[in-house]
Amino acid sequence: MGDKNAADIARLIHDETFDIDTEEFTRLVAHAGDLIVKYFEGIRTGIIIPDKTLEQMKESIIEPLPLTGQNLWQILEEAKKKVIDQAVRIGHPKLLGWILPSGTPIGAVADGIAGALNQNVALSGSGIATAVELLVLNWIKQILGYDQNAAGVLVSGGTLANLTALTVARNSKATYDIRKNGVKQGNERGAMVLYASKEVHSCILKAANLLGLGTDNIRFVDIDDQFRLDVKDLEAKIIEDREQEKHPFCVVATAGTVNTGAIDPLDAIADTCQNYNLWFHVDAAYGGFAALAPSCTPLLKGITRADSLTLDPHKWLFIPFEAGCVFVKNAAQMREAFSVSVPYLHIDKTKIPGQDDVDFADYGIQLSRHFRALKIWMSLKQYGVEKYGRIIEQNIHLAQYLSALLLEREDVEIVAPPALSTVCFRYYPRDLQQRYQRCDRGTQENIERYLDALNQSVLSAMRKEGKMMLSGTVLRNTFVLRACIVNFRTTKQDIVEISEMVQGVGKTEDGTLRRLHI
Amino acid sequence: MGDKNAADIARLIHDETFDIDTEEFTRLVAHAGDLIVKYFEGIRTGIIIPDKTLEQMKESIIEPLPLTGQNLWQILEEAKKKVIDQAVRIGHPKLLGWILPSGTPIGAVADGIAGALNQNVALSGSGIATAVELLVLNWIKQILGYDQNAAGVLVSGGTLANLTALTVARNSKATYDIRKNGVKQGNERGAMVLYASKEVHSCILKAANLLGLGTDNIRFVDIDDQFRLDVKDLEAKIIEDREQEKHPFCVVATAGTVNTGAIDPLDAIADTCQNYNLWFHVDAAYGGFAALAPSCTPLLKGITRADSLTLDPHKWLFIPFEAGCVFVKNAAQMREAFSVSVPYLHIDKTKIPGQDDVDFADYGIQLSRHFRALKIWMSLKQYGVEKYGRIIEQNIHLAQYLSALLLEREDVEIVAPPALSTVCFRYYPRDLQQRYQRCDRGTQENIERYLDALNQSVLSAMRKEGKMMLSGTVLRNTFVLRACIVNFRTTKQDIVEISEMVQGVGKTEDGTLRRLHI
């Protein structure tokens, strides 16, 4: 362009825009709103998960890269038929698989508004979005009774929250300057060692991998009969590592394990961390907001002693994905780990309206950040924490109810004591239970193998039918069915029907499979 | 609960729910839709950034943790008055600060729908959302001409995209098993070294820090007169590190630097990487989609040779935050870096409808993932890539137009050659330009210091006025004003008015400040 003057360049510009005519946009928004209302209206009925393979899904939407624009109404129609109608009905009262919570309807409305505002909640000048996030973070600290001076940030979810916290833990506990020197796990002697129970969430492994700690330097601590971290084994492992001149630096405790809902003995772990000068991190992604349920308060004792804390508002605050949250008690350590000074962001802070002392990019990994706080703000205001507490308590009661109903059936075994809102069980035909008591070890092993296969079939059959959805996991080498109730639509009647369906499907699958196996 | 039977527990459950009455929800959604339409309708006018400090913003929304629920209409009213009306008007045609693109209106609609569907695009069974993401990723690969077999994933933005890519680079190029052993940067000899230009984005430092590489092991390569990486200096630095028995492993090239929009010489850097067996990563967060603008195609030559590639659909695809994207050419290496096998997620894959061979958690850091693909899918369909190409080209022409108009003014200096859609300049009163030519070194330094102060004042005054918004940065120790046009609403007339305002504000501030300084 060097040789072109302004007038020459001006002739190339035709003021095209992506804006839509207001009238057409009004109708479009109204129609989309209608789709959203209808979606929620129908969420209690219909198939939970469509019976199609990914290949079939891919084929149903295949389309070359659009060169020219398409009709807006056609696009919305496709969004309805191809996407909405084929989506998993997350929010269905009988979806109890994994931890897939129902989302608040107002959360969806908030995400639409946030999408329109398109704030970037990191940069200088994102005043109101920053203020709302700070307010929401303070509310969450209050819910937990956590230090009001702690620094925090909203993130995409538990994985990023844990990664953020462990970055601060690693950098703060290192005996050298990690930001400058890099990680030195090669030095066998001083290697930094992380402790977590055998039931810890896989994202802790992922974080340790990213942070360059290495799985060799993670100790998987034994669990007790309720799948909680065994503090004696923790201490023994710390002492052993010290003797080997390793550098024990952090314990990850879990408040609500993903498998069974177990809450590690937080207070005792906090004592151990204090005694051995270790960073105390609590992954309370699932169980943290159980602080609102009176029955859980005693179990969470010690959580406020955490140096860092992971929570997932997109779990038991029922916020639509993504809404994770992380706190670090010592704000300076958090800032020290993440603040990177660059001229184009940090100039002239004192003079810019709306930008005083908080830039969330200094407290976490992301720079550009969506306005996640809005949906949390609106949801907490709509319901208030007292009702949240009742709904969470209700989820816990529903899990206990399911467990009790299943116990009353002869063909079901409860495999782990129900904790929080999780029930782990398996379909175990009564005649096989009896046979197991009086047969030899070889036959017992055959029965175990058969039960694994049977319960996998039960799970698949349930999903294929689409009327309810559980997930499966492995506990002490046994495949089990897992119901995790983080759902404000599930009723007593749903639980009764689920327990009946388990029995029904179990019987059918057993009828088909038994002769093939034993 | 151990001693309670099912009937006892049932009595505790009262089937409370968070659901809203359909009729009320219909009205709520309609009202929110109205707010969204009005927001877009008014986006070309009004104050860009409210003249309030963060403290004032915080006070304007202060509220104790809500114990009981509040009236829905009241909440929406507060959302309007406290949040929407106080938000930064991102999308305003004269907002050219940082890289804060206007978002497509349909993107906001899509985020509302995605919030309602609340899919978790990682888990088994998220069939249609996974399929849409795969389709969108394939479209993006086609736009870039990138390897169709590359693996990819949508992420929150450039920082996470770069972090994801550099994790794969680090793990793949290490001479030992990093996942098992951890990072061994302590070993001075074999330390892994990363190369990037002095103009690289700060998130690369953040990533290197997280990954345990250490800033000591980043080499900041010199830049040429157009702020592009100097390949000769790159080679010299690699050779020097090899001689010191370091382990050069990766070059980060930038396609569109954040400061000036410069595109590093990708093809030459690819040659260097090939010669020295280094991982070639391209951070094309800003400039990647310029592939759609014919004038940029030659500048991006070599981008398809990248081992990994960062793109930000929330920049030049105008998708509302957050929408980042990362590709790794060798899919197996990406999976190797991130796949963590856990029973409760990975059982029984073959039998679950909708879940075949793609689980995005295996290709990135997040587990729970929002349905980001929907807004990209709908936006690309609405406009088609030909119009995208014209809008991007228009942004580039607008930048050239601004540069040309400013050049025609006597009191402005263009500090960097305009690249992509970025213009860096400073207000430099003509009399000072003349005086600089004939004064001694001491006075010259005084003038430079004065110009820094003057341009910071110009920036603050512009923002306080709220009619336009630029950002500032530092280039070779000089404070400059920076206009970055990633905006489909900016017109020729806007640019004319901006160039006039620069002159006007500059003159006023110079009038006030000059006597205080020189």
In chain B, which residues have their Cβ closer than 8 Å to the Cβ of A153? none
User: Of A61, A214, A403, which is closest to B180 when you measure between CB atoms?
Assistant: A214
In chain B, which residues have their Cβ closer than 8 Å to the Cβ of A173? none
Q: State the DSSP string of B489-501.
A: S--HHHHHHHHHH
Contacts with A, B 105-124, CB within 8 Å: 105-120, 123
Residue A322: asked if its preceding bond is cis (omega within 30°), the reply is yes
pLDDT at residue A343 in the model:
57
User: Of B63, B108, B489, which is closest to A115 when you measure between CB atoms?
Assistant: B108
- Residue A212 contacts B where some CB pair is shorter than 8 Å: yes
In chain A, which residues have their Cβ closer than 8 Å to the Cβ of B67? 384-386
Largest CA distance in chain A: 96
Average pLDDT value for residue range B42-53: 89
Contacts with B, A 249-278, CB within 8 Å: 258-259
- Residue B294 contacts A where some CB pair is shorter than 8 Å: no
Contacts with A, B 320-339, CB within 8 Å: 320-322, 324, 337-338
What the block records as the tokens of A46 is 């219909």
In chain B, which residues have their Cβ closer than 8 Å to the Cβ of A363? none
User: Of A5, A187, A358, which is closest to B186 when you measure between CB atoms?
Assistant: A187
Residues A216 and A246: their CA atoms lie apart, in Å, by: 12
Average pLDDT value for residue range B424-453: 96
Three-state DSSP string of B282-303 = EEECCCHHHHHCHHHHHHHCCH
B464 pLDDT band (50/70/90 cuts)? confident
User: Of B79, B90, B100, which is closest to A378 when you measure between CB atoms?
Assistant: B79
Q: In what order do the strands lie in the sheet with A151-155?
A: A151-155, A324-328, A308-311, A279-284, A247-254, A192-197, A218-221
Residues A117 and A212: their CA atoms lie apart, in Å, by: 38
Contacts with A, B 3-62, CB within 8 Å: 4-6, 9-10, 12-20, 22, 25-26, 28-30, 32-37, 39-41, 49-55, 57-58, 60-62
CA distance B255 to chain A (A): 18
Q: What percent of chain B has pLDDT over 90?
A: 88
Average pLDDT value for residue range B408-423: 94
B104 pLDDT band (50/70/90 cuts)? very high
* Closest alpha carbon to B340 in B324, B363, B315, B320: B363
- Residue B239 contacts A where some CB pair is shorter than 8 Å: no
Residue B484, beta-bridge partner list: B422
pLDDT at residue A122 in the model:
82
Subunit contact B474:A52, Cβ cutoff 8 A: no
* Closest alpha carbon to B506 in B394, B412, B427, B401: B427
Mean pLDDT value across chain B: 93
- Residue A513 contacts B where some CB pair is shorter than 8 Å: no
- Per the CB < 8 A criterion, the answer to whether B271 and B238 are in contact is no
CA distance A90 to chain B (A): 6
pLDDT one-digit tens code per residue, B280-317: 999 999 999 999 999 999 999 999 999 999 999 999 99
- Is the predicted pLDDT of residue B391 greater than 50, yes or no? yes
Residues A255 and A246: their CA atoms lie apart, in Å, by: 27
Average pLDDT value for residue range B59-88: 97
Location of structure tokens 């009905």: A89
Query: How remote is the C-alpha of A341 from its chain's centroid?
Result: 31
User: Of B52, B98, B404, which is closest to A5 when you measure between CB atoms?
Assistant: B404
| pLDDT by 10s per residue, chain A, length 518 | 456 799 999 999 999 999 999 999 999 999 999 999 999 999 998 889 888 888 899 999 999 999 999 999 999 999 999 999 999 999 999 999 999 999 999 999 999 999 999 999 986 556 899 999 999 999 999 999 999 999 999 999 999 999 999 999 999 999 999 999 999 997 678 999 999 999 999 999 999 999 999 999 999 999 999 999 999 999 999 999 999 999 999 999 999 999 999 999 999 999 999 999 999 999 999 999 999 999 999 999 999 999 999 999 999 999 999 999 999 999 999 999 998 876 554 444 434 443 446 789 889 999 999 999 999 999 999 999 999 999 999 999 999 999 999 999 899 999 998 899 999 999 999 999 999 999 999 999 999 999 999 999 999 999 888 899 999 999 988 999 999 999 999 999 999 999 999 999 999 999 999 876 66
- Is the predicted pLDDT of residue B16 greater than 80, yes or no? yes
pLDDT at residue B51 in the model:
84
Angle between helices B105-117 and B373-407 (to 10 degrees): 150
Residues B348 and B169: their CA atoms lie apart, in Å, by: 31
Residues across chain B = 518
CA distance B297 to chain A (A): 16
Question: What is the ipTM for the molecules in this complex?
Answer: 0.96
pLDDT one-digit tens code per residue, A282-326: 999 999 999 999 999 999 999 999 999 999 999 999 999 999 999
B375 φ/ψ angles, rounded to the nearest 5 degrees: -70, -30
B432 pLDDT band (50/70/90 cuts)? very high
Subunit contact B131:A60, Cβ cutoff 8 A: yes
User: Of B86, B125, B212, which is closest to A88 when you measure between CB atoms?
Assistant: B125
Report angle CA B290, B322, A207 to the nearest 5 degrees.
Answer: 110
What the block records as the tokens of B49 is 């950034």
Nearest residue of chain A to residue B182 (CA atoms)? A214
Subunit contact B354:A49, Cβ cutoff 8 A: yes
- Residue A474 contacts B where some CB pair is shorter than 8 Å: yes
pLDDT at residue B53 in the model:
86
Question: What residue spans of A408-491 are helical by DSSP H?
Answer: 430-438, 441-465
Nearest residue of chain A to residue B63 (CA atoms)? A135
Nearest residue of chain B to residue A134 (CA atoms)? B58
pLDDT at residue B46 in the model:
84
Subunit contact B400:A314, Cβ cutoff 8 A: no
Q: How many Cβ contacts (< 8 angstroms) between chains A and B?
A: 663
pLDDT one-digit tens code per residue, B479-509: 999 999 999 999 999 999 999 999 999 999 9
pLDDT at residue A449 in the model:
94
Subunit contact A13:B397, Cβ cutoff 8 A: yes
B356 φ/ψ angles, rounded to the nearest 5 degrees: -110, -80
Best mutation target, A90, A100, A321, to test chain B (most B CBs within 10 A): A321
Largest CA distance in chain B: 96
Subunit contact B54:A119, Cβ cutoff 8 A: no
pLDDT at residue A187 in the model:
65
Residue A41: asked if its preceding bond is cis (omega within 30°), the reply is no
- Per the CB < 8 A criterion, the answer to whether A191 and A148 are in contact is no
User: Of B109, B322, B401, which is closest to A29 when you measure between CB atoms?
Assistant: B109
pLDDT at residue B352 in the model:
42
Average pLDDT value for residue range B240-256: 97
Average pLDDT value for residue range B264-271: 98
Residues A394 and A328: their CA atoms lie apart, in Å, by: 30
User: Of A1, A33, A106, which is closest to B30 when you measure between CB atoms?
Assistant: A33
Contacts with A, B 150-209, CB within 8 Å: 156-160, 163, 167, 178-187, 191, 202-203, 205-206, 209
Contacts with B, A 357-396, CB within 8 Å: 357-358, 365-371, 374-375, 378, 380-387, 390-391, 394
User: Of B131, B182, B370, which is closest to A58 when you measure between CB atoms?
Assistant: B131
pLDDT at residue A358 in the model:
79
